[in-house]
A and B are shown apart, each in its own frame.
Chain A
Amino acid sequence: MSLGEIRKTGPSSQPRLARGRDHVVAQVGEIASGDSKIVPIGRHGVGVYNVDGKFYAIANYCPHEGGPLCLGRTHGQTVTDEDSPGGAAEVRQGEFIYCPWHQWGFELATGTTAVKPEWSIRTYPVRVDGNDVIVTA
Chain B
Amino acid sequence: MTMQIETDRVASEVLTPVRVVDCDVHPTSRVGELDEYFPDPFRKTFAARAVGSGSPVYYDAPDYANAMAMRTDSFPDDGNFAGSDPDLTFRQLIMEAGSDIAILGPLAGPAAQTPEEAHAVAFAINRWQEVHWLDSRNNWHKRFRGSIVAAMSAPEAAAREIETWAGHEYYSQVLIDAEGRPSWGDPQYDPIWEAASRHDIPVACHLGRGNHNELPMSPVGFMTYNHDLMVTYSMLAANQVMSLVFDGVFDRFPKLQIILIEHAFSWILPLMWRMDKIYELRGNELGLRRKPSEYVKDHIWFTTQPLDYPEDKLELTNALEWMEADRLLLFSSDYPHWTFDDPQWVAKHMPEPMRDKIMFGNGINLFHLPSEVPALHGQRLVR
Contact = CB atoms under 8 A, between A and B. Distances in A.
B72 A72 contact: yes
Interface in A1-40: 2-5, 7-8
A73 B96 contact: no
Given A4-B1, A65-B345, A102 B339 contact: yes
B80 to A, nearest CB: 17
Nearest to A105: B62
A117 to B, nearest CB: 13
A4 B91 contact: yes
A88 to B, nearest CB: 12
B376 to A, nearest CB: 15
Contacts of B339: 102
Given A7-B96, A103-B62, A66 B345 contact: yes
A5 B73 contact: no
A62 B248 CA distance: 46
Contacts of A72: 72
Interface string A40-70: 0000000000000000000000000111100
B73 A3 contact: yes
A5 B1 contact: yes
A101 B338 contact: yes
Interface in B67-118: 67, 71-73, 91-92, 96
Contact of A73 (B66, B92, B342, B344): B66
Interface string B336-357: 0011111011000000000000
Nearest to A103: B62
B67 A66 contact: no
A65 B341 contact: yes
B281 interface: no
A75 B338 CA distance: 18
Given A4-B91, A68-B73, A72-B72, A102 B342 contact: no
A101 B66 contact: no
Contacts of B14: none
B31 interface: no
Contacts, number: 49
A4 B345 contact: no
Given A4-B1, A68-B73, A100 B67 contact: yes
Given A65-B342, A71-B73, A103 B96 contact: no
Nearest to B340: A101
Contacts of A66: 342, 344-345
B308 interface: no
Contacts of B92: 4
Contact of A103 (B1, B338, B344): B338
A3 B341 CA distance: 17
Interface in B128-163: none
Given A8-B3, A102-B339, A73 B73 contact: no
A2 B3 CA distance: 14
A102 B69 CA distance: 9
B218 to A, nearest CB: 24
Given A3-B73, A67-B73, A101-B340, 7 more contacts: A67-B342, A72-B72, A73-B66, A75-B63, A101-B338, A103-B67, A103-B338
Interface of B: 1, 3, 61-63, 66-67, 71-73, 91-92, 96, 338-342, 344-345
29 contacts: A2-B1, A3-B96, A4-B1, A4-B91, A4-B92, A8-B1, A65-B340, A65-B342, A65-B345, A66-B345, A67-B71, A67-B342, A68-B73, A71-B72, A72-B72, A73-B63, A73-B67, A73-B72, A98-B62, A98-B63, A101-B71, A101-B73, A101-B340, A102-B338, A102-B339, A102-B340, A103-B61, A103-B63, A103-B338
